Structure 1
């Protein structure tokens, strides 16, 4: 191996294959396709401040560098992991001098992992962005709504990069074995690539790293044949793509809850399995199921909340992997249960009206009269004790006069609430509009 080849081989494959122009860039056509947003900005020779939001290995840094080259403008780069306010001020000062003295295009300041900047660090960027000293471009794997201060976020566009598709990853693999200086000199046959794609989790960098490790393990062989079995037997299985401290945790629990609400047990089990495989705390899952049992099932099946609460208690006693069965039973039960959100709607409506009518006094007949003075003021007068009447019910007013006849609870369209509705109609007649 000559020195130049040895030097190249020390550079990771993912870095060697990093696209140098838009023609080499794969995927994200919504941004860099013929009608893509960034393509149009480049044509107009104006790039606004923006945030690239996407999972690792989707080409955020590469895209920013290519755009800056196309714009032929000064480019500054910082990593939020290693930089602070001091480094920010130094770069902004250099950008200010460059703009003043050379009248060049507005410099781009790229901040990788921008979500790692705290509020003070992010605030330090505001003035430079507002005055047009820099075009801020940030890259983040976390939801900007939660991680970027509102004042800064309002001055930036947000562009989303989705994980690479299977077709994109196949293209990247083919490019690696045909165009890379090191790999193209070897006979590499991509017989089966499903495992490489699956284990990558849509992360091109991870996939190329796995390919490079596998090829190095077989250096010296006349041909290197990539198969699923060979990849899985020689490479460690990937850690499931699940970040318990990041945005994805809440995206997956949201998908799980919405699948239960939508009465799809299969999707429910899939998202539950994703959380179990990712090592999620079962108590986190059951707390959400307990809330859903009331919010989305409620009076259509009151037993759902009993089961959800029992599940919450059980998983604290029984750990994973056994509690996966209990979680599955509860999740399936909730997904296949009839749904009603009437309790949820009713209390929110009542809270809203109560907030607006907090000045209304309690009607006299509903007030307690433990003292002689209170009785003299007619507290409790004419109150009808329900148990003294047939059916334990007697018609009387329980709301303040200003809001009497207001309906907060409307029974839902399910068998159990049909019974509730009939009971209410029997007692209250036409007083309430049910």
Structure 2
């Protein structure tokens, strides 16, 4: 922990872990069998992208990796750094041994800025650790992404957040002098949105707002110190939060709350509310790509086969909005939002893939039936690959009833068309072919 002599850093900074063993959460990465723990032990740490929501340990993890390996550590913020800054760090790293370059919010780097990293990463001049809250598949150049491992950080659970607060009250040089009682965690968790940094700093704000926080502790008749008692309630948290939370914070909890409200308004077929939340995001200066990407996801997740054109329009919106930019992009986004909100809804495809992935995770890699396997060689044909496969187009209506599942999953029904005109047609199509097998 930082010492008391530090220049009054916020609680989140004072509680920043100084070793991997102090880190709360992310045990799938840094626990005994975690992939990052293993590569640190080997000393062969690859360039990596740390992907996860704000305040769950991306920066801390980068610092601790460098500390554990005793490597030179350089840091840049993609918000303020340019190609010149990147090249200066690379030149410095050439005179060092296996330096680490940490770039926060790397998704904000332009293509040219990301390209400036390629050679140094490929030659091993630097080990790149990039942190992002956005999907790397969309935001990181494919050439750079191919040279990095992507590690996903999980949101902290409520139990982990409680442990974070417990340790703060027990170890922080300011808080341990007080008797702090948390009466309810609901408002703390809701406002912080799983962001540990925001949680700790909000908690500190609430506690320090108490009139008796700075009052000296007293002693009883026997000389025992009686600590001042401070109660943390939902009402106090909300009062403190209202004094600090801005109307729209692109990197914080409101950012995710408002896009959630937009998507849920679309899902609920309310174009009026959806347009309002879109306006909130635009007025807040939200990235056009962030908005458009969410609309593409909504078109498939919430509308799907009830209206496949929704995905086509959303994808076109994504391309058009990026090309023309704000302010004109607001018109394109508004058209897409109202179209999606007033479209028939179905999450049948989304539900089907979630169920299918769960089965795969539970049952592992079941063998592909021989008749479905590809047989490009003579040996494979001799082993029965492709044998007895009935080519659908050689049959009436281009359909041949046969087993397409691994035998362990025969007759498993994953896709259930929703109740809307288009998927009613899909249901009829399936019923004519698979009524006996799947019960359509």
Tell me the TM-score normalized by structure 1.
0.59
Counterpart for residue 215 of structure 1: 207
Question: Could you tell me how far apart the structure 2 residues matched to 1:33 and 1:15 are?
Answer: 23
Matched, 1:38 2:30: no
1:20 is matched with 18
Q: Does 1:74 align with 2:72?
A: yes
Q: Which sits farther off after the overlay, 290-299 or 215-224? A: 290-299
Q: Structure 1, residues 207-265: CA drift from partner, whole Å, max 9, x if none?
A: 11111111111124632101222222343186689879x996999699869xx9xxxxx
Whether contact under 8 Å (1:14, 1:209) holds in the other structure is: yes
**C-alpha distance in structure 1 between counterparts of 2:179 and 2:427, whole Å:** 74
* Distance of 1:72 and 1:287 partners within structure 2: 44
Match of 2:57?
59
The yes-or-no answer on 1:227 pairing with 2:225 is: no
- In the alignment, the residues of structure 2 paired with residue 195 and residue 63 of structure 1 have an alpha-carbon distance, to the nearest angstrom, of 27
Distance 1:162 1:291, change over 3 A: closer
Provide the C-alpha distance between the structure 2 equivalents of 1:253 and 1:187, rounded to a whole number of angstroms. Answer: 38
Query: How many Å apart are 1:150 and its aligned residue?
Result: 0.8
Question: How many Å separate the matches in 2 of 1:286 and 1:117?
Answer: 23
Against the structure 1 CA distance between its residues 272 and 231, is the aligned structure 2 distance closer, same or farther, given a 3 Å change threshold?
A: farther
Distance in 2, Cα, partners of 1:56 & 1:167: 18
Q: CA, structure 1 residues 162+247, in 2 after alignment: closer, same or farther (shift >3 Å)?
A: farther
Question: RMSD across aligned C-alpha pairs, in angstroms?
Answer: 4.9
Superposition map of 1:19-418 within 5 A: 19-99=17-97, 106-218=98-210, 219-220=213-214, 222-236=228-242, 279-280=277-278, 296-297=305-306, 334=345, 417=425
Equivalenced residue count is 311
* 1:277 to 1:197, Cα distance in 2 relative to 1, 3 A: farther
Asked if the contact 1:113–1:141 (Cα under 8 Å) also holds between the matched residues in 2, the reply is: yes
Cα 1:77–1:278 shift into 2, 3 Å: farther
Q: 1:253 to 1:216 in 2, by over 3 A?
A: closer
TM-superposed CA distance for 1:297, in Å, is 2.7
Q: What whole-Å deviation, never above 9, does each CA across 1:110-130 have from its counterpart, x for those lacking one? A: 111111111111111111111
Contact 2:120–2:126 under 8 Å retained in 1: yes
The structure that has the greater radius of gyration is 1
Asked if structure 1 preserves the Cα contact closer than 8 Å seen for 2:262 and 2:274, the reply is: no
SS of alignment partner, residue 189 of structure 1: strand
TM-score (structure 2 length as normaliser): 0.58
2:296, 2:136 → 1: CA distance? 26
SS at match of 1:205: helix
